[in-house]
Structure 1
Amino acid sequence: MTRRSTWRAVPAAALGAAWIASWPGLGHAADTPNLDLIQTVVVIYAENRSFDNLYGHFPGANGLQNLAPDATRQVDRDGTPLAQLPPIWNGLTAKGVNPPVTQAQTEHLPNAPFAIDDPKGFNRSLSVATIDLWHRFYQNQMQINGGRNDRFVAYGNTGALVMGHYDGSTLPMWDVARRYVLADNFFMGAFGGSFLNHIALVCACTPYYPNADQTPAKAQISAVEPDGVTLTAAPESPRSAMEGIPKFLHDSGLTPDFYAVNTMQPPYQPSGNAPPKDGDPRLADPDAPNTLPPQTAATIGDLLSDKGISWAWYAGAWQATLDGRNSMPTPNFQYHHQPFNYFARLAPGTAERAEHLRDGGLVGRAFIKAIDSGSLPQVAFYKPQGNLNEHPGYADIVSGDQHLADIIGHLERSPQWAHMLVVVTYDENGGFWDHAAPPKADRWGPGTRVPALIISPFARKGTVDHTLYDTTSILRFITRRFDLPVLAGLKARDDAMAAAGSGRLGDLTAALDLP
């Protein structure tokens, strides 16, 4: 039995018999919770923060407290410990932020994590945007370095910044985490960046570009060593992290066997690529090297539709962008954050697209209207517009965090709240270091640990849940709750976890008290 306290940890063992019932056809355990009490599932997907970066000081969590130096020390590209961290290349703060923190001001930092908002240090608050960091498929694996997490500095583009974190205790979402459940053993589903982790959220799969070497996309094929993990270094790449940012022979969107792992653009508008000349204005130019062909793998949306379960993806600023009103710094709609827009079943002109791909409105107003009126579908995904998603480089933390908290407030007052489950998580780590070793599984992930909150009237309120999760755990819950077929990617991840001896991924039910 787990002892209950103000901060209560839910161990991985809490999965137990509950996992037996997690997939159709595996039978039902005597203590299977009554999932029918959950009638509405809401998934909110923020951007680019590791767990330690925002929640490393959260009470009761596996965070930064009491870490031995060996658990945080970074090594150089040749494996030798760094005597100090390199400077933050090009300075700490994003373009236009004044006063700036220059590269020279960041020299000679100890080889250890540091607080970006330390009043005695850089004193950059949660309301100040930093520069962006690499968050890419191969670099993330090279940084993780087999679970040692000791080459984030060596294979990043921002020097010391990868080791930066914040005191998040003043954030509105910390208060939400205190009232509900914070999961501190939740990993991003795929290595790398936002594009692949959004795809993982909806299909637990990796996109594919058939015959890419015979198309304009051949320029997108990366040069990778035989281990399948390490990018081939360019001859002029600095040998030491102290000398500069690493350079690679070719680092782009596709693997050598044509899987899309770094950002490619959707084949349909809204897309970062313009329509084809004299072609259908609803499409993106298929001859652009980084336009991904329409994907045909099954998504969680397909399975829900096939069973008559209502669902929708609410994208902040979707309609404004289609109307040509997207701009920096606001709303800064991100095309590659819209995963269903890559799939043929939801192509322009289809009835399913009209039903399921919905405008979240500017500042989420259309999504909030659906919340307040009690008209959310049974499964709802919400993606905030760019300036509210917390992404380094173009968004600060406070604005996005307050937006999330405001959305939670509306959900708590919604007519549907009494039977609702809300999951708030981050797509990926944004290049920031985290000390927890990801479980070993398959070629695609899991990657670095990210924050996740489970919010519900049925949540084990005021607890920290230590159950092993990744992004696909959200799909596992939806699959279990609505008795759906199991996506091929979920089974592949389970098989890989078992083969690696990494245990089993939970389906979020350990965070709930259901009769």
Structure 2
Amino acid sequence: MDKGIGRRRRRSRRLIGAGALASAAALAIVTGSAASTADAQALHTLPASWLPTLTPIKHVVVIFGENISFDHYFGTYPNATNQDGTPFKAARNTPKVNGLDKKLLTNNPNAYDPKRLSPGQALTCDQNHSYGAEQAAFNGGKMDKFVEKTETDKCTGQPILFGEPGLVMDYYDGNTVTGLWNYAQNYAMSDNSYNTTFGPSSPGALNLISGQTGGAQALTSVTHQPTTDSYAVVSPDKNGIGTVINDPDPAYDDCSDKNHTATENLASMQGKNIGDMLNQRHVTWGWFQGGFKPTGTQNGFAVCGAQHNNVGGIPVVDYSPHHEPFQYYKSTSNPKHLPPTSVQAIGQTDQANHQYDMTDFDASLKAGSMPAVSFLKAPAYEDAHAANSDPLDEQQFVVSEINKIQQSPEWRSTAIVLAYDDSDGWYDHQKSTIINGSKDAAQDQSVCTGTSTKLGTTADRCGYGPRLPLQVISPYSKVNFVDHTRTDQTSVLQFVEDNWFTGRVGGSSFDSRAGGLWNMFNFWWPQAGKLPLDPKTGAVVKNGHH
């Protein structure tokens, strides 16, 4: 057993508690003791509430959003202007966050001062959030080159999107991201959580499930032959194994490469991820993503053609393959996007192989069989990614799903984690501590080359990157609490590992260095209640009224 897990087990000696197991036979199977094949198969029918866990949490739901820096959403928390949008008033005892103080708002070291974005400016240009550009914006820790290095203030082809010089510096407040501010008021949030490495969506998603972006191989689109492609995989070794720092589509997905109608190369990941580890422990789990359900077939490949209009009326294809990290690993992929064999099988190992459409999560929740570990990814128009999504559409998705979970019996043993894959390049004033450097002269800035590479020998894994929002919503959350523990995306991975006794990913995974989520909880007794919100406005619903 990992020493860290052992220490936490001793510190939390009473948390597992009596009644966690249905029987001694089930315990023997779960902990790896000898058991019959029949017993092992029967275990797959056990509800998540019967499986042994380190804490009272029997269900973890990770809602993984897109492309938001901490200051972009919470820079002025808990103070909102209340001049438009949904009014927000902070509780008197609300703790302060490390946000945008008066000096940063009025005399910022960047070329422009931050400005408030209104609800009417929810749809904006997408910023430059590439691996090298984000490092350059840090400017050696001075945090003063965002306008020059990551700003995109003019949007081509989408006149409805808001853009102006200095846009990268701008932020929303509780009149727009009202739901998230209300969750912060009533549960726990962090103001010291970071992107595990610099860069865009795919690295962030991979870090969430494995703490690894190294161990990648570039493959051709249809034949899956090894190839050399510096976009799909950078810094390859003599065996063609390198690192993902961009957004190549996953190798094991029919909907990759524009449903295999293009010729872009794909990425395949080696090693194991948290899905493999949960399978070894017979723990139910799933990744649920909007648009995963195919709309048809073409040339023998599944086609993911579902789309919706965002708040601005712009049509957006729901499914984005490079947001689905388990499809990079052959062991946890569902290339044909096959459906689960039944609602009861959701979370089990069947033809869907734990990869599902968002509608499958709602079905399992309604049936009372929500998996122990669930990762939720909104359809692209609701995932918060600038240009295709926005805070208002994101709120509709997040609040709707949390409302459903809180109305279910599973809520009393659930922890919902709101996390993000990257910062989109949006300004955040807090420089990160670089715990892992990189020596790639073509990609890395001095902020990374000046720090030693400690997590393996693979290049292009410089981190921590920009600061991101992180919230924990649970009956066991501390209430109206701001945690200052330094965490990153792999802190979520680490919590799942520890809670279900999987051990660490190993190798050079960042999970071995992650700060814990533990300070955001109080496991001695549940103290946070339900908080029904209006998905459209984010306002608290009280006695059926807003």
**TM-score (normalised: structure 2):** 0.67
AA of the residue aligned to 1:303: M
Identity of aligned residues (%): 27
AA of the residue aligned to 1:311: W
Q: 1:216 to 1:486 in 2, by over 3 A?
A: closer
2:120 alignment partner in structure 1: 125
State yes or no: 1:511 paired with 2:511. no
For the residues of structure 1 that align with 2:76 and 2:368, how far apart are their CA atoms? 36
State yes or no: 1:268 paired with 2:247. no
For the residues of structure 1 that align with 2:11 and 2:60, how far apart are their CA atoms? 24
AA of the residue aligned to 2:207: A
State yes or no: 1:54 paired with 2:73. yes
2:305 alignment partner in structure 1: 325
Q: Which residue, out of 424, 441, 448, partners 2:466?
A: 448
Is the CA contact 2:202–2:244 (under 8 Å) kept in the aligned structure 1?
no
AA of the residue aligned to 2:251: P
AA of the residue aligned to 2:4: W
AA of the residue aligned to 1:511: M
How does 1:7-406 map onto structure 2 within 5 Å? 23-26=4-7, 28-30=9-11, 34=15, 35-59=54-78, 60-68=96-104, 72-74=108-110, 85=111, 111-117=112-118, 125=120, 128-158=122-152, 160-170=166-176, 171-210=178-217, 217-218=227-228, 220-221=229-230, 252-257=231-236, 258-273=242-257, 288-292=263-267, 294-320=268-294, 322-327=302-307, 329-347=315-333, 348=335, 354-361=352-359, 366-406=360-400
Deviations 1:234-260 (A, max 9, x none): xxxxxxxxxxxxxxxxxx443233322
Give the C-alpha shift of residue 466 in structure 1.
1.4
For the residues of structure 2 that align with 1:144 and 1:369, how far apart are their CA atoms? 44
Q: Give the secondary-structure state (helix, strand or coil) at the position aligned to 2:358.
A: strand
Q: 1:68 to 1:55 in 2, by over 3 A?
A: closer
AA of the residue aligned to 1:335: P
Give the C-alpha shift of residue 507 in structure 1.
1.9
Q: 1:211 to 1:311 in 2, by over 3 A?
A: closer
Q: 1:418 to 1:185 in 2, by over 3 A?
A: same
AA of the residue aligned to 2:97: A
Deviations 1:64-91 (A, max 9, x none): 12445798312xxxxxxxxxx4xxxxxx
For the residues of structure 2 that align with 1:22 and 1:462, how far apart are their CA atoms? 32
Is the CA contact 1:50–1:432 (under 8 Å) kept in the aligned structure 2?
yes
Q: 1:434 to 1:33 in 2, by over 3 A?
A: farther
Q: Give the secondary-structure state (helix, strand or coil) at the position aligned to 2:293.
A: helix
Comparing 471-480 with 167-176, which one deviates more in the overlay? 167-176
Q: Give the secondary-structure state (helix, strand or coil) at the position aligned to 2:409.
A: coil
For the residues of structure 1 that align with 2:3 and 2:518, how far apart are their CA atoms? 9
Q: Give the secondary-structure state (helix, strand or coil) at the position aligned to 1:125.
A: helix
For the residues of structure 2 that align with 1:490 and 1:176, how far apart are their CA atoms? 34
For the residues of structure 1 that align with 2:114 and 2:4, how far apart are their CA atoms? 40
1:249 alignment partner in structure 2: none
Q: Give the secondary-structure state (helix, strand or coil) at the position aligned to 2:395.
A: helix
Gaps of 5+ in 2: 16-53, 79-95, 154-165, 237-241, 296-301, 309-314, 339-348, 438-460, 525-546
For the residues of structure 2 that align with 1:66 and 1:439, how far apart are their CA atoms? 24
Deviations 1:441-497 (A, max 9, x none): 1142221111111010011011111111110000111111111121126765646xx
For the residues of structure 1 that align with 2:68 and 2:389, how far apart are their CA atoms? 12
1:458 alignment partner in structure 2: 476
AA of the residue aligned to 1:471: Q
Is the CA contact 1:467–1:506 (under 8 Å) kept in the aligned structure 2?
yes
State yes or no: 1:469 paired with 2:487. yes
For the residues of structure 2 that align with 1:125 and 1:337, how far apart are their CA atoms? 27
2:532 alignment partner in structure 1: none
Give the C-alpha shift of residue 339 in structure 1.
0.5
Give the C-alpha shift of residue 346 in structure 1.
2.5
Q: 1:274 to 1:64 in 2, by over 3 A?
A: closer
**TM-score (normalised: structure 1):** 0.71
For the residues of structure 1 that align with 2:191 and 2:434, how far apart are their CA atoms? 17
Is the CA contact 2:257–2:264 (under 8 Å) kept in the aligned structure 1?
no
Higher RCO, 1 vs 2 (CA within 8 Å, ≥6 residues apart): 1
1:414 alignment partner in structure 2: 408
Is the CA contact 2:217–2:233 (under 8 Å) kept in the aligned structure 1?
no
Q: How many residues align?
A: 400
Is the CA contact 2:305–2:318 (under 8 Å) kept in the aligned structure 1?
no
Q: 1:379 to 1:51 in 2, by over 3 A?
A: same
Q: Give the secondary-structure state (helix, strand or coil) at the position aligned to 1:138.
A: helix
Q: Give the secondary-structure state (helix, strand or coil) at the position aligned to 2:4.
A: coil
Comparing 406-415 with 30-39, which one deviates more in the overlay? 30-39
For the residues of structure 2 that align with 1:471 and 1:266, how far apart are their CA atoms? 20
Deviations 1:306-351 (A, max 9, x none): 1111111111121045454334624432111000011111344895
**CA RMSD, aligned part only?**
2.9
AA of the residue aligned to 2:124: T
AA of the residue aligned to 2:255: S
For the residues of structure 2 that align with 1:164 and 1:296, how far apart are their CA atoms? 39
For the residues of structure 2 that align with 1:27 and 1:392, how far apart are their CA atoms? 39
